[in-house]
Amino acid sequence: MDEPNRGVVVSVRGSVVEVRFEGRLPPVYSLLRAGDEGEIVIEVLMQSGDARVRGVALTPIQGLARGSTVTDTGGPLKAPVGRPVLSRMLDVFGNVIDRGPPLTGVDWRSVHRAPPPLERRSTRAEIFETGIKVIDVLMPMERGGKAGLFGGAGVGKTVLLTEMIHNMIGHQEGVSIFCGVGERCREGEELYREMKEAGVLDDMVMIFGQMNESPGSRFRVGHAALTLAEYFRDDERRDVLLLMDNIFRFIQAGSEVSALMGQMPSRLGYQPTMGSELAGLEERIANTDAGAITSIQAVYVPADDFTDPAAVHTFSHLSASIVLSRKRAGEGLYPAIDPQQSRSKMATPSVIGERHYRLAREVRQTLAQYEQLKDIIAMLGLEQLSASDRGVVDRARRLERFLTQPFFTTEAFTGLPGKLVSLEQALDGCERILADEFKDLPESALYMIGPVDEAYDKAENESDESARPAGSPAAVG
């Protein structure tokens, strides 16, 4: 048996460790281990002269000092793949963190893999239905595409992601992989509990690089999640829904690693290699002849500034951008998606069909006209508008309310049972609202319902409630 390749720590600066080897220099991306039980893990990122390598620690480095011995593992960071990972919660090294038994019967694959070659990619454009009205009608997602959920803090990115997991697993024969990049450990625990209660954990894997972990660990967890996704797509030939929360934290971790490695920052303090690092991750998400990886990525937008380089670079990789608005969240219009800023490359007649395309355009046009009329209404009142403009306002307000939807994942908070709405039902509802079928119903009848016919029942219940005497138990409740 060969003698292991050992080196000696020369310097430790934050998470960056420099090691000198007397023999063979480990290649870039090799894993080095230090500590009494090899618990300190370092990934080589640079080979410098005089037989030295510089790497970033993926674990806490307490106890590491100059002169410590380091062992080359002879390979890169690997992720576990196979059926046994389903329903489990993992960290970046493939260790289970759900208090269950350790993984057995899995293969280990390098997290550094090339994107599928062009000849293997599928060029067929297909729609991925989410069961969420506003997304399916106005910004349809692509099967095997990448969609981004853009928004500042607290506007509902994580809630929207968890709803999509629920809809995907409950109604499609796919695998869901949730990748938490630099997010709160509380969110991971809540998601695990919710998915277990919903009974959808059997076709799901969760992998986390939490907020309190080292930047190297947060930077690699996305690559580990993609290695799992590629296994289910290529070996099991199943469709995969990959949810990443949050891609901004991936860029942020890369920025920290870059600064620690001593690279000169570019604009606004981001790393000079941000574009290529993001592309290295995003290009692996692809639709091939074996199956599709459909990715939905939450993107935190710093200070709600959409010109921030992190947001701009992420936009360029996406087939659909779903922008969440703080203003709409404040108005109680959930999901708080801004239909004017959100877009999709799928929204063309050749992909979604003439009827869907025409209806989506009419809905957008009506909402845009209402936005322009808001200033006049605020200054002069609704009465000063012409009859045609009043009709536009009436339709737009009903459309806004119809495009809200109660979620399965928020039932415990709202008390409203979740609704899954097919694309056909959503289009039918928009078409009938634009044809003024519901102009005699109160606007509130269309708020937080599923298919549009539920508006009649809701309006009837509301009229019954208002007809009851004020002191009756039902009215008081």
Which residues in 286-311 are b (16+ Cβ under 10 Å) and which e?
Answer: bbbebbbbbbbbbbbbeeeeeebbbb
Q: Is 277 a catalytic residue?
A: no
Q: Is 183 a catalytic residue?
A: yes
Report d(CA 133, CA 167) in Å as an integer. 12
Q: What single DSSP character describes residue 450?
A: S
Single out the catalytic residue among 24, 66, 83, 184: 184
- 279 Cα distance to chain centroid: 16
Q: Is 146 a catalytic residue?
A: no
Alpha helices in 119-262 (DSSP H): 133-138, 157-171, 185-198, 215-234, 247-260
Q: Please count the residues of the chain.
A: 477
Which residues in 395-427 are b (16+ Cβ under 10 Å) and which e?
Answer: bbbbbbbbbbbbbbbbeeeeeeebbbbebebbb
Contact between residue 34 and residue 70 where contact means Cβ atoms under 8 Å apart: yes
Single out the catalytic residue among 78, 143, 157, 233: 157
The conformational region for residue 269 under phi > 0 = left, psi -120 to 50 = alpha, else beta, is: left
- CB neighbourhood size of 99 (10 A): 6
- 389 Cα distance to chain centroid: 38
Q: Which two tokens stand for residue 13?
A: 């600066």
- 435 Cα distance to chain centroid: 35
Contact between residue 311 and residue 251 where contact means Cβ atoms under 8 Å apart: no
Contact between residue 165 and residue 367 where contact means Cβ atoms under 8 Å apart: no
Single out the catalytic residue among 183, 256, 277, 400: 183
Could you give the count of Cα atoms lying within 13 Å of 395 in the half-sphere of its Cβ? 23
Cα of first residue to Cα of last residue in the chain, in angstroms, is: 77
Contact between residue 285 and residue 291 where contact means Cβ atoms under 8 Å apart: no
Residue 235 sits at φ, ψ, to 5 deg, of -90, -45
Cis-peptide into 335, omega within 30 deg: yes
Q: Which two tokens stand for residue 23?
A: 């023999």
Task: Return the active site residues.
Answer: 157, 183-184
